[in-house]
């Protein structure tokens, strides 16, 4: 029972992170764009270190299956099963990439544009083209 509650809490926190990333441009001033695009870039870079897995997804997987080994099934994202369907997963991707593109559009600082472009390219590559 306790691990089930912990699992739901971790999945809910994962959903909150998704919502933050999808709706950042509506919630925050452009002053914070460097932190947002830095967060997205860090998020994608940490997948490389963790064998194409998100640390939060890994925690979810360990709560579901204590014998799970990092990198065994990086495409399985447990909170997707709880909160998403195949259409909402695509909408999430479109909204996050759209938010990064909007940050590129509204910023004049080249380093922010570079971070956003790097995050977009790396995110698309690791999500859709990178194999195990």
The model carries a pTM of: 0.86
Give residue-wise pLDDT tens across range 48-94.
899 889 999 999 999 999 999 999 998 888 988 888 888 888 899 89
CA quadruple 81, 86, 88, 94: dihedral sign: positive
What is the C-alpha separation between 96 and 4, in angstroms, rounded? 29
List, for residues 106-122, the tens digit of each pLDDT value.
999 999 999 999 999 99
Q: What is the pLDDT of residue 70?
A: 94
DSSP string across 30-64: GGGHHHHHHHHHHHHHHHHHTTT--HHHHHHHHHH
């Amino acid at each position: 029972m306790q691990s089930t509650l912990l699992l739901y809490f971790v999945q809910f926190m994962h959903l909150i992170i998704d919502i933050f990333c999808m709706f950042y441009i509506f919630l925050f001033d452009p002053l914070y764009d460097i932190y947002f695009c830095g967060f997205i870039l860090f998020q994608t870079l940490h997948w490389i270190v963790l064998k194409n897995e998100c640390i939060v997804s890994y925690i979810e997987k360990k709560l579901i299956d204590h014998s799970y080994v990092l990198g065994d099934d990086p495409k399985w994202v447990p909170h997707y099963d709880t909160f998403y369907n195949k259409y909402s997963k695509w909408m999430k991707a479109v909204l996050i990439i759209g938010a990064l593109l909007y940050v590129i559009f509204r910023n004049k600082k080249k380093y922010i544009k570079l971070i956003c472009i790097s995050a977009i390219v790396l995110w698309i590559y690791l999500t859709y083209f990178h194999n195990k």
